Structures are given as structure tokens and as C-alpha cells.
Amino acid sequence: MTATATNAAPAAVPAPDLDWWRGGAIYQIYPRSFQDSTGDGIGDLAGIAERLPHVASLGVDAIWISPFFTSPMKDFGYDVSDYRGVDPMFGTLADFERLIEVAHGLGLRVMIDLVLSHSSIEHPWFTESRSSRTNPKADWYVWADPKPDGTPPNNWLSIFGGPAWHWDGKRHQYYLHNFLESQPDLNLHTPEVQEELLDITRFWLEKGVDGFRLDTINFYFADKHLRDNPALPPERRNANIAPSVNPYNHQEHIYSKNQPENLAFLKRFRALLDEYPGAAAVGEVGDAQLGMELLGQYTRAGQGVQMCYAFDFLAPERLTAARIVDVFHHLEHAAPDGWACWAFSNHDVTRHVTRWGLTPEGVRMYAALICALRGSVCFYQGEELGLTEADVAFEDLQDPYGIEFWPEYKGRDGCRTPMVWEPSNDTGGFSRAKPWLPVAPEHLSQSVAAQEGREDALLHHYRRVIAMRSAHPVLRKGDQAELTATGEVLSFLRTDGTERIFCAFNMGETAAEVALPLGAWHPIEGIGGTEPADETLRLDAWGYALLRAG
């Protein structure tokens, strides 16, 4: 055979499942870049609602919407000035309520991005906090006196470069900012701050959201004693969290984040979630050294979030068979009961088609792979079209990260350019006006409309492999065993007591063979594989096959 499955239609919306998140597929929407409904060049909530039928057609379980709260937009919504408000550029609270109605009508759950570790410098809380050392919100942020020589209280660094402390002339103290100076860190050691954040969470649950993506979940607490972080040996540095040009990678951040107090807060957060059956949360763990260990702690049964967003497959280096085996072995050791949510691309990293230099065959193989691995999965908007990283000129840059480190690091704008819906104009159907970021001309031929009419288009491939995942519950919630790297071939078994599926992926550029487990095996999905014979399966370069026992 050439093990190529038919273009199966997406599975029908399943009956309510309180554990839908376990093995679920989530589609990430970056609202500025999804669809502009007003003609101002910026995407909005009404635009998202308009395009949700496309998302539903993929067969995913939920959408995750990046922040749309009121914000001065210094970090494009990750600097919140009103946690209960919708920024006017995105619409109104009524628009969001309508979006939920449309999504639920299509069988899609709605997750929103909550940024609880820091606010905007323009938030009224911070305005009050900085006004004096005795006001009611004086300790709602992390404030500290300078050293005797006037320098910051310790050596902590910001992810965006430079010290993580900024001097405030009103209080004559430094405040902590793990990100931009305009993003002061909230002090969750203060009980009132925790209560307010939980109340905000309840506000959105009452609006009908089905869950949350928790931004920078391991940054919620800083060391009370503000001890210096130790240096990180060069051989342990990597660029998974911050680009290599950033000195942030030179420290082991054992005091500025990852504090044990976080476990107690997450237990309270989970108790609140559990009041709303089916509500779920995925935490973004930003730590290059302790990511798996924190995943295990934060997803402990009933004690924290249901799943954690893992960074291991977002690395600059192409994902290999050996690397996947290492990641899962580490996960099994560090977090045997943990649950990961995997992604290849998102709004913060170079799109994986470009990052890994993938061929069209490689793109299809990786799409099938992420749908076969144990864990939940996030797809980033445009991934289903095979979009490459856009080359954004310096004069068009919007991202402060890229502006700071240009040209060694060009920032995140290249993965945030507008979604392309049709090829008839230079905005790809995203807007009637000039978009906030330019549409890459090469993306137009990959638009949704351009691919819908091509039977062999990548868009249909994504629909098929997501449908495959839904059609076989073992791929969503089953166990994973015998994970093996044989040269460039990754193979493993998915089992659940009812069904056994053998998965083999050739992650290399030459044909290869892999031994089959004993028994009879029947193809359910694959490209570039031969009929299994003599207990051996031959796979072309970038070929893969999923075989069912029986």
C-alpha cells in the first residue's frame, strides 16, 4: 500500500465530556491578526466570530484567544489595565458574549488567556500602589528599597533584556518587572491580590468561558527575601524561553520565579474551576531547565491546572526521533502523572515550517505526529495552511522585543502577520484597510480559499489527521508505550485496553525500515509507507503510518 487514508470529514461534536481537555485539540487565535470586521486594520472579536466556521471545520475541540482585555498595548494585550473589560480595538463585552454563543453553537469550547503574574503600569491598581507606601494597595506589587549604593535590590533580569527592576521616583523604590518596564509584577504574597485574581477568574467563568490559558504560570510568586539568582553554566543555557542574545539565559532563575507558594495558589484556582463542570486550564510554564518538573507539580491530580503548555517542541532545533524519546522519558521521570499540551508553533516563536526548514512532506508528517502523541495539542492559526515565517522589515516592526534586539533577533512579528483567507487582494481577506502588520505576499497562495478547492491541500490533511485523532479515543486518552528511535524513525504504541495502534514516523530525508510488533496490523492513516510485510514496514523520507491491531 501507500498508506493514505481517505479525506474523512471532521468528527461530529461529541457528547459532553468533562475531561474533553485530556487529549483535546485547541486552536490558538491571535485576535489582532485573525479577522478585521471594522476596517481599521486590526482584528477583533466580531471578526473571530465570523470566521469560527473555518475553525470548527478542522474538528478541534476548543479555541484559545490571546488577550483582548483593555490595555495600552505595550505588549499587545499582555499588559492589562482592566481585567474585566474588552479593549475598544477588539469590540465590546457584548461582542465577546456573542462570540461565545457562536462558538458553542458550533461545538467549540472557548478558552481565554489570563495574565495574572503582572498588569499594565496604567492599571488603576498600580497607580494607587505607587502613590505612597501606606495606601491600601501599597503591597499589591513587588516593591523593594535600593541597595546602599542606589542600585537594584538584586541581580534579577528581565526576559525583555536588562535588569528586572525599575526605579520609581514617587515611592523612591524599585518595582519588579519580569517583562517590560510597563508590566509591573503583582505581589501574590498579598492575600487581597489572590482574592481579586480569583474573582476575575470567576467573572469570566460566569460569562460562559470554558477554560483558560494561564500566561507565565510559574512567575506568580517571587522569593520573599529577594535573594540573588545564581549564574547558569554556559553548557546549560538554551534559547527556548528567551533568544540567545538575551543575558536572561545567563541565570538560573530559582528565586525570581518557580516558588513553592505557587502550589497553594493553584490549588485554590483549581477549586474554583471545579465549581464549573468541564472548565479546564492550561498553564504556560516558562522555564528552560525545570519545565517538566514544574509540569508535574502544577498538574498534580486535583491540585492545580489540568495541563501545562510545554516548550520542548518549540525549540529552534528541528525535532528528531531521538529528541522526542528524550522528552517523553524526561516527562515520565519528572512528571509521571502530569499532562502536557504540545505545540510546534505559537505567537512567540518562529513558525515551525521555517524554523525547522520543512519540506511539504515534512509538514504533513509533523501534523500527523502531533496528533498521535500522548497529550493535548495546540494548533496556531495559519498552521493548518502551512504558513511560513513572514519577513517583516524593520520599519514595519511592532514588537518591542524585536526592536530591542534587531537584527540578531527580529522579534515575534513574523509569526503574527494576518491570517490569509483568500488570495484576491494584498490583505488576504483579513481587512479592507492596511493591516497593522503587512501580509506576506507568499502567503496569499496558501490562503483558506486557495486550498479549499485543492483535494491534496495541506488544509485537508490537517482536517483528516485531527479527525483520525477524534475517531480513535486511544489517541486522545490512551497510554503510550515502547517509544523508540531507530535511526531517524520514531515508533510507539498507543493502547487503552480496547484498541492498539502502532505509530511509525520517518523523521529523516532517506527511506528507512522499522520492525512491527507481533500480530496482524491494518493501516488507518499514513503517507509514504508500504504494506506491512515480513514483520517490517518500509517508510519513504518523511513517510509515516498508523496501523491498528486486529
362 pLDDT tier (thresholds 50, 70, 90):
very high
Return the pLDDT at 246: 77
Return the pLDDT at 535: 86
Mean pLDDT of the chain: 94
Return the pLDDT at 15: 42
Q: Is residue 160 part of a domain?
A: no
Q: Is residue 438 part of a domain?
A: yes
424 pLDDT tier (thresholds 50, 70, 90):
confident
Would you state the torsion angle of the CA atoms of residues 383, 397, 78, 52, taken in this order, to the nearest 10 degrees?
A: -30
Q: Is residue 506 part of a domain?
A: yes
Kindly tell me if the per-residue pLDDT of 510 is higher than 60. Answer: yes
533 pLDDT tier (thresholds 50, 70, 90):
low
Same domain, 196 and 229: yes
Indicate which CATH number applies to the domain containing 305: 3.20.20.80
Same domain, 201 and 306: yes
User: Stretch 31-46: mean pLDDT, rounded?
Assistant: 98
* Inter-CA distances, 154 with 139, 147, 348, 355, 458, Å: 19, 8, 28, 36, 50
Same domain, 433 and 372: yes
Return the pLDDT at 301: 85
Quote the number of domains for the chain. 2
Return the pLDDT at 243: 63
Same domain, 341 and 268: yes
CA distance 388 to 352: 8
Q: Of residues 236 and 386, which shows the higher confidence score?
A: 386
Q: Is residue 166 part of a domain?
A: no
471 pLDDT tier (thresholds 50, 70, 90):
very high
Kindly tell me if the per-residue pLDDT of 120 is higher than 80. Answer: yes
Same domain, 248 and 336: yes
Residue 408 DSSP code = T
Q: Is 275 a catalytic residue?
A: yes
Q: Which of 419, 439, 469 is the last residue of a domain?
A: 469
Task: Give me the residues paired with residue 545 across strands.
Answer: 504, 526
Residue 446 DSSP code = G
Domain that holds residue 50: 25-118+191-469
Return the pLDDT at 10: 38
The answer to whether the CB of 473 falls within 8 A of the CB of 20 is no
Q: Is residue 36 part of a domain?
A: yes
Read off the pLDDT of residues 94-106 as tens digits, 9 standing for 90 and up: 999 999 999 999 9
Kindly tell me if the per-residue pLDDT of 6 is higher than 50. Answer: no
* Inter-CA distances, 74 with 195, 231, 238, Å: 26, 30, 26
* Straight-line distance from the first to the last Cα atom of the chain, in angstroms, rounded to the nearest whole number: 18
Return the pLDDT at 425: 84
Residues of the chain with pLDDT > 70, as a percent, come to 95
Same domain, 249 and 360: yes
Return the pLDDT at 289: 82
Same domain, 298 and 275: yes
Same domain, 305 and 435: yes
CA distance 406 to 415: 16
User: Stretch 521-547: mean pLDDT, rounded?
Assistant: 89
Q: Is residue 167 part of a domain?
A: no
Same domain, 36 and 53: yes
Among the options 275, 337, 408, 534, which is catalytic?
Answer: 275
User: Stretch 367-392: mean pLDDT, rounded?
Assistant: 98
Among the options 215, 284, 287, 525, which is catalytic?
Answer: 215
Indicate which CATH number applies to the domain containing 493: 2.60.40.1180
Q: Is residue 223 part of a domain?
A: yes
Same domain, 318 and 249: yes
CA distance 400 to 406: 10
CA distance 405 to 29: 26
Kindly tell me if the per-residue pLDDT of 4 is higher than 60. Answer: no
Q: Is residue 405 part of a domain?
A: yes
Q: Is 293 a catalytic residue?
A: no
Q: What is the pTM of this model?
A: 0.95
CA distance 382 to 447: 9
Same domain, 432 and 528: no
Same domain, 381 and 505: no
Q: Which of 429, 446, 469 is the last residue of a domain?
A: 469
Return the pLDDT at 13: 39
Q: Which of 439, 469, 499 is the last residue of a domain?
A: 469
Least confident of 112-121, 220-229, 240-249: 240-249
* Inter-CA distances, 76 with 20, 180, 256, Å: 30, 12, 24
